[in-house]
Amino acid sequence: MAELHVHLVAVLTEQIRCAQAMLGALTRESDALAGGDAEHLNAAGAEKAQLVETLEALEAERRTLVAAISADTGVNGGAHPEPQWQSLLQLVAECKEQNQRNGALLKARAEHVRSALRLLRGAEPQFYAASGLSPALRSARSLGSA
């Protein structure tokens, strides 16, 4: 059973390392979003995707180890080494918060682009139809005809 605990500590340590790397990737993503740097944004996104895969695999391994330790000791949920577990939980919370900030920034940038496109497209002039009535305004012209 001591071997399981050693392995669990190693998995938690690796999860902490990956979560720290994820926080770094999220910070780089935020910087790229703020600066409108598509190249760095793509690089941060690729790094995040790889880290998510690694974290998911480590989480599956951690859960398996905790279940095995709990089965051996009869204690549920008390298998985590407290300092590493608390560090991991704190890092995951920071990653979640940074990811939410990045999502809000991304949403704001997307709205800015949509506004610019609406401005570029403009509204079509209003003409009378054959019936003598004004047709409903179409929302916008295609960019190719602007």
The answer as to whether 132 is a domain residue is no
Residue 131 domain-assigned (yes or no):
no
For 74, counting Cβ atoms within 10 Å of its Cβ (0-12 exposed, 13-18 middle, 19+ buried), the class is exposed
CA separation, residue 74 to residues 78, 81, 87 (Å) = 10, 16, 25
Q: pLDDT tens digits for 86-145?
A: 999 999 999 999 999 999 998 988 888 888 888 888 755 556 666 666 555 444 455 555
What pLDDT sits at residue 109?
Answer: 84
Q: Is residue 70 part of a domain?
A: yes
Number of domains in the chain: 1
pLDDT for residue 139? 47
CB count within 10 Å of CB 118 equals 12
Rounded to an integer, the average pLDDT of 78-92 is 87
Residue 51 inside a domain? The answer is yes
pLDDT score at 36: 87
Q: Indicate the pTM of the whole model.
A: 0.74
Domain that holds residue 43: 2-122
pLDDT for residue 130: 62
144, part of any domain: no
In the predicted structure, residue 1 carries a pLDDT above the cut 80: no
Rounded distance, CA 116 to CA 114, Å? 5
For the cut 90, the answer to whether the pLDDT of residue 71 exceeds it is no
CATH of the domain at 33: 1.20.58
Closest CA to 22 of 97, 119, 76: 97
